[in-house]
Chains A and B, each alone.
Chain A
Amino acid sequence: MFKVLVANRGEIALRVIRALKEMSIASVAVYSEADRESPHVALADEAWCVGPGAAKESYLRGDRILTAAKATQAQAIHPGYGFLSENDTFAADCEQSGITFIGPKGNVLKKLANKSATKAMVAGAGVPVIPGSDHDVKNLTEAQGWVKTLGYPVLIKASFGGGGRGIYKVEDNSQLSRAWELAEHEARSATAHGELYLEKCLEDSRHVEVQVARDNQGKTQAFIERDCTIQRRNQKLVEETPSPFVSPQVREKLLRAAALAVEACAMTGLATVEFLLLKDLKTFYFMEINKRIQVEHPVTEELLDVDLVKLQINLALGQAMPKFDFPPLGKRHSMEVRINTEDPKNNFLPTEGVLSFVSLPGGPGVRCDSYATAGLSVGTNYDSLLAKIICFTPEGRAQTIAKMKRALEELAIDGVTTTRALHQKLLQDPIFAGGDQWYSTRYMGEWIKNQNWS
């Protein structure tokens, strides 16, 4: 029997193990000492402890995870998101051990690890990219030169950063040298690479991304865009599809651009190409490419009746791109909210505790991907995502929002503070709920400040 090791934890480990079970593939979980009672350990066919609670000594230890794969004779490793999912060394080590890494090839990941180099590659394929330095910027003097061309505000980004981290915004000349210093320091300490690049800061824009899949023969499939404009400090909180601000004409262009970007990078497997969409609702720019399954993949799955995790596994095993028979879009709409263990009243400080009571929402059109179970202790060792609620209706965005309100009302988690109340408030917001007045990625940050949390 084919066997796959899942090198992750939390809801995404459950998501992958569920797909494996439906495919009659044996599953191996790995876990840290802090996660002994986490549900992915029980759900998998077998489970191996790989280290103590600190991710650096467990989920980030590629060597220990590879040892677990050898101990269990797993033929493939699914990395989930975060942790080792875009680690080129790990992918290459898997390949060398004859184990299939369910993701892009190690050499492709290596090439794409540098974001400014990736941007240049994508621009070369004729895809519009955010105006900025077209390569790494060596020092402050060079940065000052670029700023003259670009104009303020600019973003300083870590070339090897990711997940919305390592980004510094600079409003004017007086901030540049200090921000440069901070960005360099953070980039060095987080990734061992100090390289930075500059980008024009296009604040009045939306975050629109396209899920793409590509098989080993080079056949590419792009899926209808996701809109992730509701963010706080570059961390997504709500995702939906289709975007209320993308016309069929722009959609066609976006999907084509995403396919071109992936082909330019010689990517195979699943990828998400992120774009900024400007207020004219026509201009869009390539931002970056994510080379893993993403947190928000379920909104696409619900909209289009596809299983992206199974697709990802099949593509990694060398299967050709299937023929998709998508339902006509009509008014179909799906949306996801992230239930994080963070306190919106307290500057989104991570919360921890024992989940004394858990009741997850259900009913028609509601999907809940979560590892929350009563009695589970939730700490701050790992990222704060506890549950994702995904709602779908064929009747339009307003109906999907009505369903999400109902689902959030049903959700009950005691023992830790979550972002549930934040989402309940947001769904009442006329601008967000209306979906016909422009709002940008800045909107959520300002909206949070204006809320009365008492």
Chain B
Amino acid sequence: MIPNVVLEILDWAKTKEDLAELRYENKTSDPPISVHFAMSSAVAGQSPANGKRILYLKAPTIGKVSYVAEKVSAGSMVSAQQVLGVVEGEKEKVQFESPVAGKLQEVLVKPGSWVGFGDPLLLIELN
């Protein structure tokens, strides 16, 4: 489970288009939080931070989500370029894939959920 504060930061961060990466640490919280968001896949290969390296996957369009990968749930391992699901709009069906190999940290939407263009779908912890 991702603490609410992290989701709030994500919400804020998605309004900042020029943000490349973001670190958040709170050692006094229970459990302690230490995260490193890479805001685009281009940043994924950078040197590891102290915290976990987490990348979020944006919805490629507005529409209804369905997953095609067998296991799209927290803890599943995904490989780079693995197609994870589809966002289906009125006249388009757009696949989304994991840009990196890693572990699904959190699945933010359920199959059948509606998402807006660019909404976060999944958090992936980089290998």
What residues of chain A have their CB less than 8 Å away from a CB belonging to chain B?
33, 36-37, 48-52, 58, 63-64, 66-68, 70-71, 93
Which A residue sits closest to B63, measured CB to CB? A67
The interface stretch among B67-75, B88-96, B98-106 is: B88-96
Q: Is the interface of B mostly helix, strand, loop or mixed?
A: loop
Q: Do residues B118 and A49 form an inter-chain contact, with CB atoms below 8 A? A: yes
For window 1-54 of B, CB contacts with A under 8 Å fall at 15, 17
Interface of B with A (CB < 8 Å)? Answer: 15, 17, 61-64, 89-92, 114, 116-119
B115 to chain A, nearest CB (A): 8
From B63, B90, B91, B119, name the one whose CB has the most chain A CB atoms within 10 angstroms: B90
**Distance in angstroms between the alpha carbons of A438 and B17 in the assembled complex:** 52
B114 touching A71, Cβ below 8 Å:
yes
The answer on a CB contact under 8 Å between B62 and A49 is yes
- Indicate if the CB atoms of A33 and B89 lie closer than 8 Å: no
| 15 other A-B residue contacts (CB within 8 Å) besides A49-B62, A50-B116 | A48-B62, A48-B116, A49-B116, A49-B117, A51-B61, A51-B62, A51-B117, A58-B117, A64-B89, A64-B90, A66-B90, A68-B116, A70-B90, A71-B64, A93-B90
Complex Cα spacing A49 to B59, Å: 10
Given the known A-B contacts A33-B17, A51-B61, are A63 and B117 also in contact in the complex, defined by CB atoms under 8 Å? no
- In whole angstroms, what is the CA distance A51 to B62 when docked? 8
Known: A33-B17, A49-B62, A71-B62. A64 touches B117 (CB 8 A): yes
The distance from the CB of A50 to the nearest CB of chain B, in whole angstroms, is 5
Bound: A371/B5 CA distance, A = 31
Residues from chain B with Cβ under 8 Å of A66 in the complex: 90
| A33→B90 contact, CB < 8 A | no
User: Do residues A33 and B117 form an inter-chain contact, with CB atoms below 8 A?
Assistant: yes
Interface centre among B61, B116, B119 (most CB of A within 10 A): B116
Point out the residue from A37, A64, A93 that lies within 8 Å of B62, measured CB to CB: A64
**Would you give 19 A-B contacts (Cβ < 8 Å), ordered by A?**
A33-B17, A33-B117, A37-B15, A48-B62, A48-B116, A48-B117, A49-B116, A49-B118, A49-B119, A50-B62, A50-B117, A64-B61, A64-B62, A67-B89, A68-B62, A68-B116, A71-B63, A71-B64, A93-B90
Taking CB atoms, residues of chain A closer than 8 Å to B61 are 51, 64
B118 with A67: CB separation less than 8 A: no
B116 touches A63 (CB 8 A): no
Q: Which chain A residues lie closer than 8 Å to B117 at the CB level?
A: 33, 48-52, 58, 64
Q: Which residues of A sit under 8 angstroms from B64, Cβ to Cβ?
A: 71
- Chain B nearest CB, measured from A90 CB (Å): 11
Report the separation of the CA atoms of residues A250 and B20 in the bound assembly, to the nearest whole angstrom.
Answer: 63
Bound-state CA distance A66–B117 (Å) is 13
Q: Which residues of B contact A67 (CB under 8 A)?
A: 62-63, 89-90
CA separation between A58 and B62, bound complex, in Å?
Answer: 10
Given contacts A37-B15, A49-B62, contact A63 B118 (CB under 8 A): no
Closest residue on chain A to residue B15 by CB atoms: A36
A50–B63 Cα distance when bound, in Å, is: 9
Chain B, residue nearest A97 (CB): B90
Chain B minimum-CB-distance residue to A58: B117
What's the nearest-Cβ distance from chain A to residue B83, in Å? Answer: 21
Which A residues touch B92, using CB under 8 A?
A: 63
Enumerate the 10 nearest inter-chain pairs by beta-carbon distance, A residue then B residue, closest first.
A71-B114, A63-B91, A63-B90, A67-B89, A49-B116, A49-B117, A48-B116, A67-B90, A66-B90, A67-B62
A400 to chain B, nearest CB (A): 41
> What residues of chain B lie closer than 8 Å to A49, measured between beta carbons?
62, 116-119
Q: Which residues of A contact B116 (CB under 8 A)?
A: 48-50, 68
Q: Which residue of B15, B64, B91, B92 has the most chain A CB atoms within 10 A of its CB atom?
A: B91
Q: From residue B57, how far is it (CB to closest CB) to chain A in Å?
A: 15
Q: Residues of A contacting B119 with CB < 8 Å?
A: 49
Q: Which B residues lie within 8 Å of A70 (CB)?
A: 90
Taking CB as reference atom, which chain B residue is nearest A48?
B116
* In the bound complex, CA of A66 to CA of B92 (Å): 12
Complex Cα–Cα for A64 and B62 (A): 6
Question: What is the bound-complex CA distance between A93 and B62, given in angstroms?
Answer: 17
Q: Is the CB of B118 within 8 A of A33?
A: yes
Residues in B with CB closer than 8 Å to A68 are 62, 116
The chain A residue sitting closest to B64, CB to CB, is A71
Query: B125 → chain A, closest Cβ, in Å?
Result: 25
Q: How far is the CB of A38 from chain B (nearest CB, A)?
A: 12
**Complex Cα distance A50/B116, Å?**
6
**How distant is the Cα of A344 from the Cα of B17 in the complex, in angstroms?**
31
A50 to B118, CA, bound (A): 9
Closest to A64 in B: B62
Report Cα–Cα, A77/B63, bound state, in Å.
17
CA distance A93 to B90 in the complex (A): 10
List B contacts of A71 (CB < 8 A).
62-64, 114
Residues from chain A with Cβ under 8 Å of B62 in the complex: 48-51, 64, 67-68, 71
B105, chain A: closest CB distance, angstroms: 23
Smallest CB gap from B113: residue in A = A71
- In whole angstroms, how far apart are the Cα atoms of A46 and B34 in the complex? 32
Task: For the complex, give the distance between the alpha carbons of A273 and B69 in Å.
Answer: 56
Report the separation of the CA atoms of residues A58 and B118 in the bound assembly, to the nearest whole angstrom: 12
